[in-house]
Each structure stands twice: as C-alpha cells, then as structure tokens.
Amino acid sequence: MSVTVHMVPVPRSPIVAYRDDGGLARTMGAVVAGQLPPLPPAIAGAFVGGVLLAVGVAKSPTLSIFVPVVAVLLAGPGSSHAHDGRLDWLTVPVLRLMEYGFALAVALAWEVPGPVVFALLGAVLFHHYDLVQRMRQRVYPPRWLGTAGLGWEGRMLVVALVGAVPALVLLLAIYLWGVFLWESVTCWAAATDSDEAAVPADAGE
C-alpha cells in the first residue's frame, strides 16, 4: 500500500503570499535575494504606470506593455523580501491598485464589453479573497498556483497584449476562473473541517 502525501510549503509571511507573484516576479526576486526593500519600488512602479496611462498609452499595445514592464522591473525584485518593515504591508494594496487599474484602463481604451471585463477581474478578485482565507485557515496554496495563475505581473502583461481583442480577454477570464476556482474548490473540499478554526475578524468588516 502506498500513501501519497502532498507537501505544501508554508509561506514565509502572509504579506508575501498576498502579493500574488507570478514566475517572473519570483525569478527577479531570487536574483536580488531579498536585498531590495519592497515598498518604494512598488510605489514608483505604480506612479510611473499611472503617468503612462494618464498620457494615453492604454490604447496602443506596443506602448501599454511598458506599464507592466516598468512595474515588474521595479516591484518584481521585492518579491523575495520578508516584508517585515512597518509599512511593507502597503506593497499589497499598491500591487492591487496597479493590476486592477491597468486592466480597467486597457479595457476602457479598447471598449472591451463590460461583462467580459467584469468576468476577468472577478476571477482575479476571487483568487485574492481566496488567498486571504487560505492563509488564515492554513490551507496554503500550492506553489504551482502562483505560476499557473500568472501572478499580478503576468496578468498585466497578457492584458496589455490581448486587450485589443475582446475574445482573447474572454479566453483569459475563462482560463483564470478555471484555474482559481478548480484549485480552490478541490483544495478546500480536501481540507477536513475543524471545530476550532481561528477566524480573526477582518478589519473594516
């Protein structure tokens, strides 16, 4: 009789897990080995991205790709940092703002149908809410999920490339829903119930 045990690494800190880095950001983080503070470059990336979008690069695939490229060059290396500074938790909302804002701007520029954009961002949001619950209930996400889910930087790059074609945006939405929903449901179904699950109250709720 053989027993298969799936081993999931415990993330070093919930903040790092909430970043939702993809393969690219992780690779860049590995290069600098945690020596770069995460917050200032992320804010710089968001600022540059915001300026680029403000001057109207969203409409052009070749120009709009600069937003995720600049973002990943600046914020990507921070992925290996412990995020133990007093304000490092701010990196998470900054990355979220960058990803959500960019997707919305590109979709608006190309007049992607509203329901398609709603579906795409709904998939991303599902994953982000799921991540928080995963960390709190210690049902840690497997490593491959970060890669398969493309990460914040991967999704921004793909959105910049396919934003002009609504059908491809829809395809991306379907793919992300498939990955995030399927993985989450199977994982939670496998996690046995507990009588004493510590559920900290979410701030602001």
Region 138-157 residues binding another protein, contact defined as CB under 8 A: 138-140, 143
Distance CA(81)–CA(21), nearest Å, equals: 12
Residues 171-200 that bind another protein (CB under 8 A): 188, 191-200
Closer CB to another protein, residue 66 or residue 100?
100
C-beta separation of 160 from 64 below 8 A: yes
* Smallest separation (angstroms) from another protein to the CB of 112: 9
| Choices 56-64, 65-73, 137-145, 167-175; region in contact with another protein by CB under 8 A | 137-145
Site string for another protein, 90-129 (x = CB under 8 A): xxxx--xx--xx--x--xx----xxx-xx--xx--xx-xx
* Smallest separation (angstroms) from another protein to the CB of 67: 16
Number of residues engaging another protein in binding (CB under 8 A): 72
Instruction: Sort 155 into a burial class: Cβ within 10 Å, 0-12 / 13-18 / 19+.
Output: buried
Closer CB to another protein, residue 16 or residue 57?
16
At 1, list the tokens: 């009789």
Distance CA(38)–CA(45), nearest Å, equals: 11
Distance CA(165)–CA(107), nearest Å, equals: 10
Report how far Cα 121 is from the mean position of its chain's Cα atoms: 11
Identity at 114, one-letter amino acid code:
G
| Choices 35-43, 52-60, 61-69, 89-97; region in contact with another protein by CB under 8 A | 89-97
- Under the binding rule (CB under 8 A), the answer on residue 14 touching another protein is yes
Distance CA(128)–CA(16), nearest Å, equals: 13
Half-sphere exposure of residue 162: CA atoms within 13 angstroms, side-chain side: 17
* Smallest separation (angstroms) from another protein to the CB of 15: 6
